[in-house]
Structure 1
Amino acid sequence: MATLKEKRTCAQRCEDFGHFVWNSDNGTLMGRTPIKWVYISLYYVAFYIVMTGLFALSIYVLMYTLDPYEPDYQDRLHSPGVMAWPDTYNDLDLDIFYNMSDQHSWMKMSECLKHFLVRESPLRSVWDAATENCTQGHYFFQKKFEAPGHTKWACPFTQSMLGNCSGLEDPSFGYNGSEPCVIIKMNRIINFLPNNGTGMAPYVNCTVLDGHKNVGEMEYFPKNGTLDLSYFPYYGRKAQPTYINPLVAVKIHLVQEREAKIQCRVVAHNIAYQNFYDPYEGKVIFHIRASS
């Protein structure tokens, strides 16, 4: 009959561990002689030095071959997205609902537009310097970095260009009544040329999808909702740190029930707007309602 394994005490276990750490009989430290520990330490030091060198070399080669001003691969974005302000988005849609008789309600919308326009505006000195290099109605091609700080010029877009929706004369942006303003912005794509470089400027066109009888008219600022060609092409944030997106403001005259569903699309031959998987590609759809 097999005997049971003798149970070892805590003192015996500590003695065994100490014997493992330093075996005076064999002169080993944790199972290896000191000279073997030196050899294995040198091996791992050399191994990690080589691995660190290879990693550093690969990062250096990668950074050396990258263009700091333009991404190497731009296959994801073929057509720009479109956004609208006030950006009161819910889970799925953009809903612009406000109460004309409730100051807190309509001021929430006007403050949103005011903060957006302040964020989008550069320094006046930058505007003045860039204006000399811009020609309206023509693409602004730049092969060299002639602007200060080894950058490229960016044509100015001032708040006053939004006319009656600039907030300069009417700080409420029409939200204290039934003529609210909505600002449309097309997102940036590096080296993108609207209409495939044909010289035709893109423009914003808004159509009523639901509630046609509730919309009297729509005014565009700048005129005809045009996004001038002088803002294209865009060369990237590092190349054009002072670039400002051209904007289009739409003043919507609401009548009767003062509620509608509107689609605003940036019209150009090479801007898609029927992508089922990206509802904001080339267009933005929003609900607007003014209660009293």
Structure 2
Amino acid sequence: MTGLFSLAIYVLMYTVDPYTPDYQDRLKSPGVMVWPDTYNDEVLEITYNMSDKKNWMKNSKILQKFLEPYNDTTQAQCNHYNCTTGKYFFQHMYNAPKHTKWSCPFYQSTLGNCSGIADPTFGYNTAQPCVIIKMNRVINFLPNNGTGHAPYVNCTVLEGQDNVRGYEYYPVNGTLDLSYFPYYGKLAQPSYVNPLVAVKFDLINQRHAVVQCRVMANNIAYQNIYDPYEGKVVFHLTALS
């Protein structure tokens, strides 16, 4: 009996592909998150006091920590494959070192005025804070706009329109380049980093707004009442003085 059990386990393990999960209960449509990640049980609030350095520095430090893997030098060393912008990066073979697949670099400097390089405060000492939008990974997912164009982040002010003078995206147009897709899994792409989009807001008047940032693609749902983070993220942004 023990021998049969051992043989069954051996056959099972021999036929399992370690690079592909046998059971995936993830949603087909990816979730979307925002940083600084100040999540609580009810609503997502990013609130800071411009005149209290200790207070606003909490958000700046969260973003600095979050972007450490994206350091330009680090990315140049671990993800040095020359990817083709604007095209899916299909890999049918494990041609990277140690039987892995290549990953495209995403440089911190790509986030421009929200990279934290020139301004390590990320604007949190003013009424022009930066937030960073990240779409969660789904193995083999191909975002599709039906036009061959890359998905992009689109932010909308749901409440407090008079309190937002404007906002800018980094990279330009909030694009999530196709070369970062598909994702093949942590074992296959150990150095993979998610593409990011940063948004810099210009708050005025009461300096409070409720914002929705959505990843735009035909096959990314955003109206799932059971998962408020599927395809989009809604957050309160408030700058106190």
Question: TM tier, shorter chain?
Answer: over 0.9
Aligned pair 1:61/2:15, yes or no?
A: no
Aligned partner of 1:68: which letter?
A: P
Render the CA deviation track for 1:197-243: whole Å, top value 9, x for unaligned: 75220000000111110011110000100000000011111111111
Deviates more, 1:262-271 or 1:59-68: 59-68
C-alpha separation in 2, matches of 1:240 and 1:284: 26
Distance change in 2, residues 1:144/1:196 (3 Å): farther
Match of 2:78 in 1: 126
* SS of residue matched to 2:210: strand
Aligned pair 1:163/2:112, yes or no?
A: yes
- In structure 2, which of residues 213, 217, 230 is the aligned counterpart of residue 268 of structure 1? 217
C-alpha separation in 1, matches of 2:120 and 2:217: 32
Deviates more, 1:118-127 or 1:263-272: 118-127
TM-superposed deviation, 1:174: 0.3
Match of 1:98 in 2: 48
C-alpha separation in 2, matches of 1:166 and 1:153: 24
- In structure 2, which of residues 153, 166, 169 is the aligned counterpart of residue 220 of structure 1? 169
Match of 2:36 in 1: 86
- In structure 2, which of residues 226, 230, 235 is the aligned counterpart of residue 281 of structure 1? 230
TM-score (norm. length: structure 1): 0.79
Match of 2:88 in 1: 139
The answer to whether the Cα contact below 8 Å between 1:218 and 1:251 also exists between their aligned partners in 2 is yes
Render the CA deviation track for 1:177-198: whole Å, top value 9, x for unaligned: 0000000000001110001775
TM-score (norm. length: structure 2): 0.95
TM-superposed deviation, 1:58: 2.5
Match of 1:239 in 2: 188
C-alpha separation in 1, matches of 2:236 and 2:97: 43
The answer to whether the Cα contact below 8 Å between 2:59 and 2:124 also exists between their aligned partners in 1 is yes
The answer to whether the Cα contact below 8 Å between 1:139 and 1:199 also exists between their aligned partners in 2 is no
Gaps of 5+ in 2: none
Which has the greater radius of gyration? 1
C-alpha separation in 2, matches of 1:53 and 1:210: 66
Match of 1:17 in 2: none
Aligned pair 1:70/2:33, yes or no?
A: no
Q: List, as ranges, runs of 4+ consecutive aligned residues in structure 1 with deviation greater than 6 Å.
A: none
Render the CA deviation track for 1:95-140: whole Å, top value 9, x for unaligned: 100000000111000000000001455453123x31x2x1000111
Structure number with the higher helix fraction is 1
C-alpha separation in 2, matches of 1:253 and 1:279: 25
Identity of aligned residues (%): 68
RCO greater where, 1 or 2, for CA within 8 Å and sep 6 or more?
A: 2
TM-superposed deviation, 1:70: 1.3
Render the CA deviation track for 1:50-94: whole Å, top value 9, x for unaligned: 2x3333223222222221111234454210000110000111221
Gaps of 5+ in 1: 1-49
